[in-house]
Structure 1
Amino acid sequence: MKISLLVIGKTDAGYFVEAIKEYENRLKHYIPFEMQVIPDIKNVRSMSEEQQKEKEGDLILKCLQPGDYIVLLDERGKEFSSVGFSGYIEKKSHTVNKRLVFVIGGPYGFAQTIYEKASERISLSRMTFSHQMIRLIFIEQLYRAMTILNNEPYHHE
């Protein structure tokens, strides 16, 4: 199984870029992982929120492959503890054949077509984070899950 994180827009802040790269490198010791960036949509000021979500949805759909298991990172999704999330990843490693794709949407969420295409929704917190920050939080939690599954000392109870 390969894990992919699909995101809208590039990460601008250098400190986030550095931290994300650090955790991406750490993850490669455990599992195939990639972060795929969909370029920002142009001329969003002339679009309604719904039009923007639809345009982003079209771009997300173009990045998906047959057999992908799609999980949206969404504020209304299921919440896990870090240990619970590690169990979730372990379970998916036995049931997902190709790619486990986590998707972070744009500022207004997802188009209805994306909600319909997804198998699940997960929330990383009830709090709201910037799209750049949530990328780092997700990748760190994925790394934490891998260390938990490998009984390594990164996570403390």
Structure 2
Amino acid sequence: MKITFITVGKTEDAYLKEGIEKYVKRLKHYTRLELVDIPELKNTKALTEEQQKSKEAELILKKVTSQDHLILLDENGLEFTSVQFANYINKRSVTSSANLIFVVGGPYGFDQSVYARANDKISLSRMTFSHQMVRLFFVEQLYRAYSIIKGEPYHHQ
């Protein structure tokens, strides 16, 4: 199983890049992880929020096949503890041959076409985080999930 993490825009702050790289490097011991940055749209002042979401949706959905399991990181998604998230990842890796694709949308969220294609929605928190911070939080939680699955001492409960 391969995990793909798609984000709209790129991480610019050096301290966040460093943290993301740290956990991506650690994750190589557990899974194949691909980070995909979809470029932010240009000249968006002439576009409505819906038009922007629609254009981002086209770019996101081009990266997804019919066999992929698409999970949106969305404020209205399921909330998990770290152990529950580890169980979710473990179940998906054992019961499915589909690749997991996690997606963080653009500044206005997801277009209806992306919601329609999604298999699941997960919320990292009820709080709102910057898109750059979500990237770090997600890869850390993914690393934590694998350390829980393997029974390693990273996670304390």
TM-score, scaled to structure 2: 0.98
Cα drift, residue 57 of structure 1: 0.3
Question: Which residue identity lines up with residue 154 of structure 1 in the other structure?
Answer: Y
**Aligned-partner Cα distance in 2 for 1:105–1:67:** 21
Specify the alignment match of 1:49 in structure 2.
Answer: 49
Cα drift, residue 31 of structure 1: 0.7
Specify the alignment match of 1:2 in structure 2.
Answer: 2
Report the identity percentage. 55
Question: Which residue identity lines up with residue 113 of structure 1 in the other structure?
Answer: S
Runs of 4+ in 1 over 2 A off after TM superposition: none
Specify the alignment match of 1:65 in structure 2.
Answer: 65
Q: Deviations over 1:43-98 (max 9, x none)?
A: 11111110100000000011112311000000000000000000000000012313
RMSD: 0.7
Specify the alignment match of 2:118 in structure 1.
Answer: 118
Question: Which residue identity lines up with residue 137 of structure 2 in the other structure?
Answer: I
Specify the alignment match of 2:101 in structure 1.
Answer: 101
Number of equivalent positions? 157
Q: Which runs of 5+ in 1 are unaligned?
A: none
Map 1:69-148 → 2, pairs under 5 A: 69-148=69-148
TM-score, scaled to structure 1: 0.98
**Aligned-partner Cα distance in 2 for 1:104–1:45:** 22
**Aligned-partner Cα distance in 2 for 1:47–1:31:** 39
